[in-house]
Amino acid sequence: MAELSRFFNSVTGDERTYQAEDFAQFFQNVLGNGFFEGLEVSAENTTNIIVAPGAGFIEGHEYTNTTSLTLVHDPADATNDRIDRIVLRLNRDIEERNIKAFVKKGETSSNPTPPALTRNNYVYEISLAQVRITAGKSYIDSSQITDERGDNRVCGRVQVARRVGDQINTVDIKPVTARPEDYSEGISQFYMSGRDQADIFQGWLDSIGINPGKYGRSLESLRAYVHTIGNRTNTGVQTVTLFAWDWNNNYEIYGEFKRANNAVSSNIEWGQWQENQIIVEQGSNSNGEYVRYSNGVQECWGNPFSLQTSTSVGALYRSDPRQWTYPKEFASTSDLVVMGDIRSFDRWVTVSTIDTTQASVSAMGVYNSSAAYTTMLYAKGRWR
């Protein structure tokens, strides 16, 4: 084991020399692989493609293309397509020591796939684009190019190094009691697990006023991201996004909560939490439309239908009761409200019985009428 410290000037009797790999190792502590800007691949309507000026970064080594670069594809097969890739290839072999752009040729097939990227101790490739070489076609147009710069699996934009990100999600976790001054200036974030950081996570939920049972989940099954933006003189905003960890629950987002202050500085307190309601599900069917919100509220609208006020009830008249089945079931009737409207001065809607799946509604009026009046229905309650 050894302690390393670098980089320092040489002095007489204590020379300090460094290799390129020392600098590459240092930069890998800061930046991940990908492209900085530019490097878009475009067609020339020949067998050539053009790589635009731009810059990239691979395993601690920087690449810059200062002018439009032309690359040439091999001719198309007469029968089958193939998929080539335009790659930036870091080659650390002693005879090469460079990063260059290449056409990586694929195999012809009735169902072609792009060539795999080489990533080992000597060669590391990132893909800028796929180019489908169409059988029998003598030129390449823009429809044959698929931009891969945004795909983190094969390229992606240069970001904070993965090793730094992993540390953020383990070392930088803060309790909800952390004051604004405890956060770094700019943007910071961390991830919390109800399983791995139960005590800290529970503190955040208590501060917001959330019981996991509200969502029908246990603390262990919840996860959250805490995202903070601020500086020393202007407003800081903190956002907590609460979600399910498992794919069986479709990684459902249960809520987004925000608080703010006027600076990430000393003697400043956070403001009150406010929930940013999110639509988690919406749809329609033969019974109407519905919307479900992250705070557990559900709204339903019935498809309009017609009612007649032709049955005498004392001095008034009513329609026969009609059952409205909600487009989506409610969790309970304890706070469920159902109401209706008829666009007429002397007619209205009454609701006699309700349950979690349907309501019995009637039209009322002051006159006996066999005319059909359009009836609108609305219900609001909780879906969890």
Reading phi first (left if > 0) and then psi (alpha if -120 to 50, else beta), residue 267 is in: left
Q: What is the DSSP string of 221-246?
A: GEEEEEEEEE-SSS-EEEEEEEEESS
pLDDT per residue, tens digit, the chain (384 aa), is 578 888 888 899 888 888 888 888 888 887 889 999 999 999 999 999 999 999 999 999 999 999 999 999 999 999 999 999 999 999 999 899 999 999 999 999 999 999 999 999 999 999 999 999 999 999 999 999 999 999 989 999 888 766 665 555 556 789 999 888 888 778 888 999 999 899 999 999 999 998 998 888 899 999 999 999 877 776 689 999 999 888 777 788 888 999 998 876 667 788 999 999 889 899 999 999 999 998 889 999 999 888 888 888 888 998 888 899 999 999 999 999 999 998 877 889 999 889 999 999 988 888 888 888 888 999 999 998
The Cα 238–Cα 256 span in angstroms is 10
Question: What six digits make up the tokens of 245?
Answer: 């960890």
pLDDT at 199: 94
Question: What six digits make up the tokens of 49?
Answer: 């493609």
Sign of CA dihedral 342, 345, 346, 352: positive
The Cα 14–Cα 4 span in angstroms is 15
Residue 58 near residue 33 (C-beta atoms within 8 A): yes
Reading phi first (left if > 0) and then psi (alpha if -120 to 50, else beta), residue 209 is in: left
Model confidence, pTM: 0.60
pLDDT at 80: 96
The partner residues of 64 in beta bridges, in order of sequence, read 55
Structure-derived torsion over alpha carbons of residues 139, 143, 146, 149, reported in degrees to the nearest 10: 100
Outline where the chain has alpha helix (H).
20-28, 162-168, 198-208
The Cα 173–Cα 383 span in angstroms is 33
> CA dist 102 to 24, 151, 333, Å?
22, 18, 66
pLDDT at 265: 67
CB crowding 149-167: b at 16 or more within 10 Å, else e: beeeebbbebeebeeeeee
The Cα 65–Cα 56 span in angstroms is 9
Nearest to 67 by CA among 33, 101, 35, 43: 101
Number of other CB atoms surrounding residue 361 within 10 Å: 24
Using CB atoms within 10 Å of the CB of residue 359, give its burial: 0 to 12 exposed, 13 to 18 middle, 19+ buried: buried
